[in-house]
Amino acid sequence: MGHTLTIVKRELASYFITPVAYVFIVIFLFLTGIFTFYLGSFFERGMADLTPFFVFHPWLYLFLIPAISMRLWSEERKQGTIELLMTLPIPMYAMVLGKFLAAWLFTAIALALTFPLWITVNYLGTPDNGVILAGYIGSFMLAGAYLAIGAFISSISKNQVISFVGSVVVCLLFILAGFPVVLEFVSGLAPQWLINTISQFSFLTNFESLTKGIIDGRFIVYVLSMIGCFLFANAVMVEMKKAD
């Protein structure tokens, strides 16, 4: 646990040494604002809740999360620091987990900085704060799932741009997996059981219930097991690719 914590601290500090973190947070807040107020018709709906805010998160994260995760391992390999890291007495799980947790913590910070929105709805009306909390938890879990995918993809290539594009594509597949249109389209191409499984894994179907205020234990389990799987694949990939 000590090693994981040391890695988390180093990684998190690195986000804030460079302007990247601040730029990311500003863009994140700006975009959530736009989505919520313009596309989500926050005021026009006349309802005191944050549904229009959360509803766009799967799409917002689609581009923002890969922007964070792309450097996780790609950069480590490009700089050659992976050789340093992997010859220090740290177990593999601590490296993989430490990097992932730091990135997740960072998104948590960005998410927490949307608190003025929460204050606003509470000022304007009497929202169900339980529903809002469920939305935040769901959004955080979603970010974790995207990040785990992104971390895994970034361990495949030295090139950050490739890592970014690859993560966007894979995350998109996980979003689209829930759309009936998409399911119909692939229904001819794949066996039914596979399609059923894929639709089970969709972020959207799983995420929507959360924004409605239902903390579905299955969603949490689903995300955590996804994170587990992708981080395991991440470790395997790092081990395979480290010397290339």
Ligand X SMILES: Nc1ncnc2c1ncn2[C@@H]1O[C@H](COP(=O)(O)OP(=O)(O)O)[C@@H](O)[C@H]1O
Question: Would you tell me which residues interact with ligand X (CB under 6 A)?
Answer: 243-244
Decide: 51 and 211 in contact? Cβ < 8 Å: yes
Q: Which is nearer to ligand X, 1 or 243 (CB)?
A: 243
Handedness of CA 45, 48, 53, 55 (dihedral sign): negative
Where b means 16+ CB within 10 Å and e means fewer, 101-116 reads: bbbbebbbebbeebee
The reply to whether 1 sits near other proteins by the rule CB under 8 A is no
**Residue 191 binding target from ligand X, other proteins, none, CB below 5 to 8 Å by type:** none
Among 41, 79, 187, 225, indicate the residue that binds other proteins (CB under 8 A). 79
The reply to whether 3 sits near other proteins by the rule CB under 8 A is yes
CB of 136 to other proteins, least distance (A): 30
Token pair for 180: 């009936």
The reply to whether 19 sits near other proteins by the rule CB under 8 A is no
The reply to whether 189 sits near other proteins by the rule CB under 8 A is no
The reply to whether 129 sits near other proteins by the rule CB under 8 A is no
In whole angstroms, give the CA distance from residue 24 to residue 181: 33
Token pair for 129: 């704060």
In whole angstroms, give the CA distance from residue 157 to residue 159: 5
Positions that interact with other proteins (CB under 8 A): 2-3, 6, 10, 13-14, 17-18, 79-81, 83-84, 86-91, 242-243
